[in-house]
Amino acid sequence: MAKISLSIKIYFKWFILGATLFFLVKTFSNNWQNVSIVKTTQGWLILILALIITFLAHLWSGLVWARLLRSLKQPVTTRWSLQLYLITNIAKYLPGNVGHFYGRISAIYKAGGSLSVASLSVILEPLLMAAAAFLITVFASSLGLIKMGFYPWLWKVNLIIFPIVLMIIHPKILNPSLRFISRLKNKEKSSAVEIEQYPARYLLGEIGFLLLRGTGFILTWMALIPLDLSQIPILFSVFSFAWLMGLIVPGAPGGIGIFEAIAIALLSQQHFPKGTILGAIALFRVISILAEAIAAGLAWLSQRRDRITES
């Protein structure tokens, strides 16, 4: 029975990924001749700025996670944690979308940290990210900046799930659950890990991460076409919801396919040229991966230099 369940989950992930990729390929093939490209020097400079902002977003997210790890009293420095975060971040594009989590947990445990705390840190991070994106999209939807009419069921599910998530990470609920799990496993001699206060500042940190990522998305658009001030909140809101879906929908390593499909569907309701939509989304994906690759490379070089210095 367990093997059948595992097989269903695997096939479901491949089905989601295949369906979204088919949608994207079909959309791009039908409209490729209209895809906007960067045609001016100013456009390229704006695109470089978008890359820098996106790079800074991942750096900021790494610092938020590093501070979270430090608050959980682990024997690692902020510098070490940031290096680990950036190096492992690129592994989220591997099939299964859990490679970066495994890499962080393994590295923390080998560094003398608690396996339970390491697991808690990598669980809290995406929960806080998702909660931040959800809060932004709720605010945007209430202002009418994005419309959820073509998948109301998904929006209703989110309205139920994410308030529950915000409650689950409250110390009064999370800590008893962690103590119960620790008693069941009884694998570590140390006491069960606990969080001392509601992780509100880390939630604010993840909102800052999304603000930076959204800025990179808007700058990518500005490299292609001039934008009115009224269009910027719409683009940012669409980005937040599409990014949220890419994070929580299974079967898409790094959100590839899901983010693009949702963004295209939402932006098609707005008064943007089809070619510009496709061009901006394609460019933003390239910028995102490039920024993560640069961050991982610099973190690896920094880590290597630290090891040489220590030896």
The 10 Å CB-count burial string (b at 16+, else e) for 271-285 is ebebbbbbbbbbbbb
116 has a pLDDT exceeding 70: yes
Say what the pTM is. 0.80
Whether the CB-CB separation of 117 and 70 falls below 8 Å is answered with: no
* Of 104 and 15, more confident: 104
Q: Is the model's pLDDT at 161 over the cut of 60?
A: yes
Q: Lowest-confidence range among 69-78, 145-154, 240-249, 273-282?
A: 145-154
**pLDDT reading at 1 higher than 70:** no
Residue 26's pLDDT is 58
- Write b or e for each residue in 110-148: b if 16 or more Cβ atoms lie within 10 A of its Cβ, otherwise e: eeebbbbbbbbbbebbebbbbbbbbbbbbebbeeebbee
Q: What is the largest CA-CA distance in the chain?
A: 63
C-alpha of 142 from chain center: 23
Domain map of the chain by residue range?
39-310
Does 84 score more than 50 pLDDT?
yes
d(C-alpha 43, C-alpha 226), whole Å: 10
Q: What's the confidence (pLDDT) of residue 195?
A: 72
